[in-house]
Structure 1
């Protein structure tokens, strides 16, 4: 269960609601746990040659069950989706840069 799941606060780690109905942001240690779980999950995906865990969700869940559960438990649902999409975007960016460098493109200094 992510921080903002429909669990209705039954989890001891569920975020506390504020008076205006919002939620208190995760503290530094909760963010660190999320990032550790994300890195372990992505490491498992790399080991199994899975780039897009959104499109290949069933395969990712089958090959990385423990990492998937920890990632989902330690990160907000919105963060999980963001990290998964960002992984694909960064892969595509890196592939484009490699292709351009192979075609002889050169870096332009930032101004």
Structure 2
């Protein structure tokens, strides 16, 4: 969290991070998701010193969108989850595959 963030934003960050980890996201990625979401919310409300055009002009906040721009939806499995499934099914070459390739190899 950026220095000087409000208690509300700190709670929001922790909540988003915990939710991402519960979905199977790695801790590093969960922190990144939480930080980006909170920083975007700070920009939208004028709490941040600088803000990108997309942060301030987007009609829906990240929490309202709920994964709409992920091109898969909010309930889609993570790369780690797909990798574990591929491992169980003994898919060859899984260690070098990206998420899309794993999905294709698993027939999703």
Structure 1 length-normalised TM: 0.26
Higher relative contact order (CA 8 A, sep 6+): 1
The structure with the greater share of residues assigned to helix is 2
Structure of greater Rg: 1
